[in-house]
Amino acid sequence: MANLIVYFSHAGENWVNGQVVSLEKGNTQRAAEIIRDAVGGDLFEVRALEPYPKDYQALVARTKEEFENGLRPELAEYPSSLEEYDLIYIGYPNWWNTMPGPMFTFLAHYDLAGKRLAPFCTNEGGSMGMGEREMGRLCKGADVLPGLAVHGADVETEKEKRRIVEWAEKVQMG
């Protein structure tokens, strides 16, 4: 059985250490790549059919509307099957104290019963939020493992990379 690292990430303007900065690559993508390099597996980026704006204020307005109205954006594509994967690492930024809408869309698309799900979340102070709980609610019969909260601004520091690798390896060992 192979690993799958599924992630949703946002490049462009992001909130980092109390200010808006432009990121060429989103923090969650960086964490997903660290996990892949540590334990191996296939990467799959969850992308909304209608891309999110790069502008921070426009992004906040759209995600707030999605959150407040329970909207689940249509996705650009899905993996054809998750059958070959026993362990699925699931990464997302903490938006509105939970997973972004596209992650809800992705998780609701599949029957993940019998799969081991390892959530990881990048944030700027909100930790895991309600993401793990929501994942457990959506993915009946899946084993949702204890997740990892990663401070987005620190994702590429040696200390945080080491923490991500140690967590991924621990999850891998079962």
30-74 confidence digits (pLDDT tens): 999 999 999 999 999 999 999 999 999 999 999 999 999 999 999
Q: pLDDT value at position 61?
A: 96
Query: Where exactly are the structural domains of the chain?
Result: 2-173
Q: pLDDT value at position 1?
A: 67
Length of the chain (residues): 174
Round to whole Å and give the CA distance between 172 and 51: 32
Average of per-residue pLDDT across 126-148: 94
Give the residue carrying structure tokens 């809800």. 104
Q: What is the DSSP string of 31-56?
A: HHHHHHHHH--EEEE--BSSPPPSSH
Six-digit token string for 149: 């909260």
CATH number for region 2-173: 3.40.50.360
Six-digit token string for 64: 């707030």
Residue 151 has pLDDT above 80, yes or no: yes
